[in-house]
Structure 1
């Protein structure tokens, strides 16, 4: 059955972020079901889900309240269009809830189908806003190297990862990238975190000056850069960045798709990292991954500009078939209710010290150059030479080997280059955290033996 399933997969599916040539040789991992923080494959093997699906299943698998919320809503109103002024109670209630908990000045909410199109909307509305203000040159969006903001033409352009651009003819115009705030990789010899943050701010200022201050409209950033390698900036980074942006009338967007809804020990990552956004983008954990749904908040000046443009053009000509999907809204409302009722933010804060201690302990391995964590998200960076911070050459495949060992031992997580990302469901308990890290520790030891045997540390 499994072999047949694999063959059917190879002949029918294209997998995102997969080497399609290698996939034809190795085939897929077929997942069958999940319960709590665990996943089970089609052979019945049990795995800890160390990446919360794809940074999203905060409440784990098999949550009966979310299942019932979706089922009840499907019976009552399985779909409703929000075009031409139509609405439904659940979209209204969810927008009210997001306005209540949002970290910035939320006047309105606009729904999308996920994170990529949420950030795509941030680009479109930034352009729309400045046209309405009579600033037709003020259109450039600044993102950061190694950022991940999605995969559409616009949001993929904001993403600062070379494979996302290569041969897709990205990025499009009006997008620029400033430095990645990775202190471990980017700090100059002897540079303190404060000095590093000041340099990052200077480099942003210099980029704006080169591009032309009257052309720069928006700065978008993840509080913690997930797919860029779990990069946690120094505490002084965002305050210094804000000083620069304030001088040039630049809209600030916090991409909370990974960091939102408790992951960092606050409702939103921007609150943990000292970021003060004009607007936020959310998705993933808004429904605990149980339904595709995203949203952005809209600040009052932008909303007034949208009204002005609607009067001029006759319509706000944007939206999706699934904008404010009633089933998605029902699941999101129940998800947020559970977060609040079960005090998930407080739970993350309580578990964070153990999580941080276990992440840090992995740094005792000779193979590990750097560890970092905040709340219940962390990264473990594997290196060829920890003293020199020297990376393995990509063709060694050290990160992928380690992930293979994790999987063999019963842990599913992700290698970003040679950084192992850890992002379990927020319902994880202390015993399960220890189980996760005991497994990862064993996988790293096995990877160390493989690296030594194959002499992969050679420059």
Structure 2
């Protein structure tokens, strides 16, 4: 490999396998190298500045360069850089973060368990659902329902609950135990004259039919994002979550709220479950919990979920599960400080205050001839573009044009998604959307 040029771009192409790309094409095109970050901006190696319009991966609530998080990380590194929570061991940061999460949870929760990513956490929740069903003497109650266009990660189990073909193709996914119900895309799927409430009732009817077809005694849990994020930002229509929860309660199906994107302020409340009146049995949080400064996620479970698992471990003699990095002291210390900053600076309130401005800009751009419709709530949104040629490619063209204008967003099929850091200001929102408008004009 001695003939490889010394540039970071060339070495990246030579040595690193990247996610969510055509790998052969990437060997030619390579990567944009991001060199540093400051506030809502990142800078490439040529010094060009970009609005980080997706907060990294829907996650950097505090923006880039928050020194308090670095200081806390160093202090914890100096004191206790690593320890585990196996075999009756623990340490202060993991205990303090678990306690904090229980205190701020939108519904009563009993226990917290930490992982290193949302994918890993959702995978473990599936495993715990199966364990719990066995504990309850219900060995057939193992199927999991997700939603078409839902996203819950890329491990074997979480990737199976995810309802995106790109995450299934050639991976032999989804697993047989994973089923999918409809995406609540009112903008594209509503029948003529159908109100949001009527549409939500139809979505609940579809879910009930699936449960009855599979057999209620075989369904363990339903996984849902309060707002569907990586699938294209789908905001639930009126009464959607109320109708879905009615069906789940009727058939004794657990509700797992995947708050990996919506948690810690994104929808204008600390949790999306509060925004939409969701009362989950289990919550999964990650991303904005540490502003992605450290890899960490958490599973919050209520007593009804936890108790049978604890009883089963007593029967067996051990809870036969564990991760080396679960509750990592540096990651939990940084997360705790990150949540403190979100609260001190009222970033949840900042989201609520700036959301009307953010959504008004989406409304303005929705009148552009290239835009079909817009979706959004809080500080997360998407522009659905008219297909230009083959469906599913318009979003990528828009993301490329936006990059030229200095905005990093996310393309999902024909949608272009935005989810800026929660620290963004009104002036920065205006400037970001002005650049997005110029990008739309570039498309012709």
TM-score, normalisation: structure 2: 0.97
Give the superposition deviation at 1:103: 1.5
How many Å separate the matches in 2 of 1:303 and 1:400?
Answer: 43
Deviations 1:265-284 (A, max 9, x none): 00111111222211100011
Give the superposition deviation at 1:4: 2.1
TM-score, normalisation: structure 1: 0.94
Matches within 5 A, 1:9-408: 9-384=12-387, 392-394=389-391, 397-408=393-404
CA RMSD of aligned residues (A): 1.3
How many Å separate the matches in 2 of 1:28 and 1:214?
Answer: 49
Deviations 1:7-30 (A, max 9, x none): 111110110111112111211100
In 1, are the aligned partners of 2:380 and 2:420 still within 8 Å (CA)? yes
How many Å separate the matches in 2 of 1:179 and 1:72?
Answer: 47
How many Å separate the matches in 2 of 1:223 and 1:378?
Answer: 14
Give the superposition deviation at 1:301: 2.0
Shift >6 Å, 4+ stretches? none
Give the superposition deviation at 1:3: 7.9
In 1, are the aligned partners of 2:281 and 2:305 still within 8 Å (CA)? no
In 2, are the aligned partners of 1:283 and 1:295 still within 8 Å (CA)? yes
Deviations 1:319-356 (A, max 9, x none): 21000000001100100100111111111111111111
Deviations 1:111-151 (A, max 9, x none): 11110011011101111111111111111111000110000
Are residues 1:438 and 2:441 paired? Answer: no
Give the superposition deviation at 1:392: 4.7
SS in structure 1 opposite 2:14?
helix
How many Å separate the matches in 1 of 2:122 and 2:107?
Answer: 16
In 2, are the aligned partners of 1:104 and 1:280 still within 8 Å (CA)? no
Give the superposition deviation at 1:404: 1.1
In 1, are the aligned partners of 2:5 and 2:11 still within 8 Å (CA)? no
How many Å separate the matches in 2 of 1:253 and 1:181?
Answer: 17
How many Å separate the matches in 2 of 1:24 and 1:127?
Answer: 41
Q: Give unpaired runs (5+ residues) of structure 2.
A: none
Alignment correspondent of 1:428: 424
How many Å separate the matches in 2 of 1:306 and 1:201?
Answer: 29
How many Å separate the matches in 2 of 1:302 and 1:375?
Answer: 30
How many Å separate the matches in 2 of 1:97 and 1:255?
Answer: 19
In 2, are the aligned partners of 1:157 and 1:170 still within 8 Å (CA)? yes
In 1, are the aligned partners of 2:282 and 2:305 still within 8 Å (CA)? no
Deviations 1:47-104 (A, max 9, x none): 1100000001010000011110111111110000111110001111100100011122
SS in structure 2 opposite 1:243?
helix
Are residues 1:410 and 2:406 paired? Answer: yes
Equivalences, count = 441
How many Å separate the matches in 1 of 2:438 and 2:374?
Answer: 16
How many Å separate the matches in 2 of 1:110 and 1:315?
Answer: 16
Deviations 1:260-302 (A, max 9, x none): 0000000111111222211100011100010000010121122
How many Å separate the matches in 1 of 2:397 and 2:348?
Answer: 34
